[in-house]
Amino acid sequence: MDNGLLLIITFSILLLALIVYFIWLSKRKKRHVETLKSDWNKFEKALNNEHISGIIKYGTELIWNENLTDSQMKKMKESVYPLAEKHAELENLKNLIYNKWLDWNRDYVGTA
């Protein structure tokens, strides 16, 4: 096989993989925007009923949603932390919330 043809095939495959990745990323962002409100409502309903498995399910989905707002994060932190003391099953969600909070409040060197 000719070296030029091999280079063209290699770059074509890489370009195709990049295009597929960005299409997937775009669909994921749209899905996150669409599901944020419904997941938040379901999370609040589970909190009001103290339905632990619902809190874990929708809280985890919210934490991984890239459109979660700061006020929603604070509300999650204020509501899940006290419940985690009573229910050990919420410890993982509590850690996820804490880690996301740390990530958002990270002090980058040279930015302060």
Q: State the pLDDT at residue 104.
A: 84
Q: Report pTM.
A: 0.75
Tens place of pLDDT for every residue, the chain, 112 residues?
688 899 999 999 999 999 999 999 999 999 999 999 999 999 999 999 989 999 999 999 999 998 999 899 999 999 999 999 888 899 999 999 999 998 888 777 666 5
Q: State the pLDDT at residue 112.
A: 55
Nearest to 61 by CA among 32, 102, 29: 32
